[in-house]
């Protein structure tokens, strides 16, 4: 009986321990306003974040963080997003980093991030949507509809600044996202495949071909493998997509902020 009581107490203690949710460290951030922490946060930001979010946090491939802050994001939310990443996007989790590193990054962002965004989506969104259906949807998916050979754009409005979108439409070869680089290969039995590289090592390559079949190939079974320099995404210079249509298209893309796929 004593053992039972002990067991029960142990279980209760365990349950109570589980019951209290871990407090978000950003609720009490000791680094806010501390010049030394802000300098450390800047260094961390530049190595870990700036590649996607831009040196000025104005957004490059990743969202404009000044807009995120101006939009009212709390420090707790920032902490959660940095710690866990964002599933379904290129934003990775910072699983193994100490809380303090993340808190110093937040302190740095708070120091710089009070400027309202300058490039809110504009243009004729309806015309942008029409253009998208006609010109883009064969390769890009939105909310489960469209092609798969290009990146899924379901939440591109939250993950790309306007200037990044313009750049990627006008000059897509300037930067090709990982897992979308063009390759063509010929197998030893003469099969020709062109598509995008999903993954690769010394011995094998994984490809989605232009018919959207995903498949791995052992390099020992290939007679030819060519890494093409250009994206499968065609460039849309002004002669093909005038500034007004581009503005509308980007306006429409800015509205793509995730889809609710919940079954009602």
Would you state the structure tokens that stand for residue 179, as one six-digit string? 């897992």
- List the one residue out of 114, 99, 91 whose CA is nearest residue 26: 99
Q: Could you write out the three-class secondary structure of 191-203?
A: CEEEEEEEEECCC
Q: Does 97 bind another protein (CB under 8 A)?
A: no
H-assigned helices in 2-124: 2-19, 35-48, 50-53, 65-70, 75-84, 99-112
Q: Which of 77, 148, 192, 257 binds another protein (CB under 8 A)?
A: 148
Give, as ranges, the residues between 57 and 96 that touch another protein (CB under 8 A).
84, 87-88
Q: Cα separation of 76 and 166, whole Å? A: 32
- List the one residue out of 113, 114, 108, 106 whose CA is nearest residue 39: 108
**Nearer Cβ to another protein (35/263):** 263
Residues 175-214 vs another protein: string with x where CB under 8 A?
A: -----------------------xxxx-xx-x-x-xxxxx
Asked if residues 62 and 52 have their Cβ atoms less than 8 Å apart, the reply is yes
Residues 150-179 vs another protein: string with x where CB under 8 A?
A: --x-x-------------------------
Q: Does 20 bind another protein (CB under 8 A)?
A: no
**Nearer Cβ to another protein (30/88):** 88
Tokens 């000059």 appear where?
A: 171
Q: Which of 15, 35, 178, 229 binds another protein (CB under 8 A)?
A: 15
Q: Does 118 bind another protein (CB under 8 A)?
A: no
Q: Does 46 bind another protein (CB under 8 A)?
A: no
Q: Which of 134, 178, 190, 229 binds another protein (CB under 8 A)?
A: 134
Asked if residues 207 and 214 have their Cβ atoms less than 8 Å apart, the reply is yes
Q: Does 132 bind another protein (CB under 8 A)?
A: no
Stretch that binds another protein, among 14-22, 115-123, 162-170, 244-252 (CB under 8 A): 14-22
Measured at the CA of 258, the angle between CA 73 and CA 236, to 5 degrees, comes to 110
Strand order in the sheet with 192-200: 214-218, 204-209, 192-200, 181-187, 222-227
User: Contact positions toward another protein, by CB under 8 A?
Assistant: 1, 3-4, 7-8, 11, 15, 18-19, 21-22, 84, 87-88, 134-135, 138, 141, 144, 147-148, 152, 154, 198-201, 203-204, 206, 208, 210-218, 221, 239-240, 261-263
């Amino acid at each position: 009986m004593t053992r039972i009581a002990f067991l029960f107490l142990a279980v209760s203690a365990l349950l109570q321990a589980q019951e209290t949710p871990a407090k978000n460290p950003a609720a009490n951030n000791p680094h806010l306003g501390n010049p030394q922490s802000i300098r450390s946060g800047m260094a961390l930001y530049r190595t870990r974040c700036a590649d996607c979010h831009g040196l000025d946090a104005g957004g490059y491939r990743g969202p404009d963080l000044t807009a995120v802050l101006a939009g009212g994001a709390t420090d707790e939310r920032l902490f959660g997003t940095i710690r866990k990443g964002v599933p379904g996007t290129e934003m990775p989790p910072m699983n193994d980093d100490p809380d303090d590193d993340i808190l110093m990054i937040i302190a740095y962002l708070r120091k710089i991030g009070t400027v309202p965004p300058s490039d809110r989506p504009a243009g004729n969104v309806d015309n942008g949507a029409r253009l998208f259906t006609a010109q883009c949807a064969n390769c890009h998916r939105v909310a489960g509809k469209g092609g798969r050979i290009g990146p899924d754009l379901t939440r591109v409005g939250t993950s790309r600044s306007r200037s990044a979108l313009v750049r990627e439409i006008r000059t897509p070869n300037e930067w090709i996202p990982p897992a979308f680089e063009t390759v063509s290969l010929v197998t030893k039995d003469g099969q020709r495949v062109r598509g995008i590289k999903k993954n690769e090592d010394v011995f094998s390559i994984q490809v989605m071909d232009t018919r959207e079949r995903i498949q791995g190939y052992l390099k020992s079974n290939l007679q030819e493998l060519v890494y093409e320099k250009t994206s499968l995404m065609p460039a849309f210079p002004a002669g093909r997509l005038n500034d007004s249509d581009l503005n509308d298209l980007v306006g429409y893309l800015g509205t793509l902020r995730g889809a609710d796929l919940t079954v009602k």
